């Protein structure tokens, strides 16, 4: 088993269970020294995609899952790591049970752009499902998002 730190849609344990059925949620915590941001708008999706970047003054709420080898390929496919869109990095996560070294995905694209309102809603719902603090979820829901033009 290897520890995986989810900060995006995989924060939702139900969604993660569908994608990686052998990967149980272990705990939640904070990725200190990183911030949630968006990028990759040029790839043609409905807005920018979630990623994290180093920032000594920020932190990102994460869920830690134990991912066995049989789920790694599936997760890489879901996160487009198999296409090179995201790359894996090792991070230290502060949890109530101590520090955990985990891997996570970082977008291999320029930072910038706005996510769609629907994508931002899915991220906030996922954070809420993982029991993120209410103020963290509220900040996600208040972030600027891309206008749909409707």
CATH class belonging to 2-139: alpha beta
* Cβ neighbours for 99, distance < 8 A, ≥ 6 positions apart: 92, 93
Closest by CA to 66, choosing from 58, 75, 57, is 75
Q: Which residues are known binding-site members?
A: 119
Residue 42 C-alpha from the chain's centroid: 19
Length of the chain: 150
CB-based burial label for 134 (10 Å; 0-12, 13-18, 19+) = exposed
pTM: 0.92
Q: What is the pLDDT of residues 49-97, one digit of tens each?
A: 999 999 999 999 999 999 999 999 899 888 888 788 889 999 999 999 8
What are the residue boundaries of the structural domains of the chain, listed by start? Answer: 2-139
Work out the number of other CB atoms within 10 angstroms of the CB of residue 149.
4
pLDDT at 150: 44
Confidence of residue 41 (pLDDT cuts 50, 70, 90): confident
* Cβ neighbours for 55, distance < 8 A, ≥ 6 positions apart: 33, 34, 35
Q: Which residues pair with 38 in a beta bridge?
A: 50
Confidence of residue 146 (pLDDT cuts 50, 70, 90): confident
Distance, in Å, from the CA atom of 4 to the CA atom of 57, rounded to the nearest integer, reads 23
Q: Which residues are known binding-site members for substrate?
A: 119
Q: Which residues are catalytic?
A: 79
């Amino acid at each position: 088993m290897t520890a995986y730190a989810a900060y995006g849609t995989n924060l939702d344990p139900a969604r993660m269970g569908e994608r990686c059925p052998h990967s149980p949620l272990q705990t939640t915590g904070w990725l200190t020294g990183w911030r949630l941001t968006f990028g990759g708008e040029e790839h043609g999706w409905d807005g920018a995609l979630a990623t994290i970047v180093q920032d000594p003054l920020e932190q990102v709420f994460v869920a830690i899952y134990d991912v066995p080898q049989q789920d790694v390929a599936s997760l890489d496919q879901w996160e487009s790591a198999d296409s090179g869109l995201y790359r894996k990095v090792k991070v230290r996560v502060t949890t109530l049970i101590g520090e955990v070294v985990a891997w996570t995905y970082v977008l291999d694209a320029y930072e910038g752009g706005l996510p769609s309102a629907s994508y931002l809603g899915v991220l906030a719902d996922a954070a809420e499902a993982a029991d993120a603090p209410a103020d963290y979820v509220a900040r996600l829901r208040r972030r600027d998002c891309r206008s749909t033009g409707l």
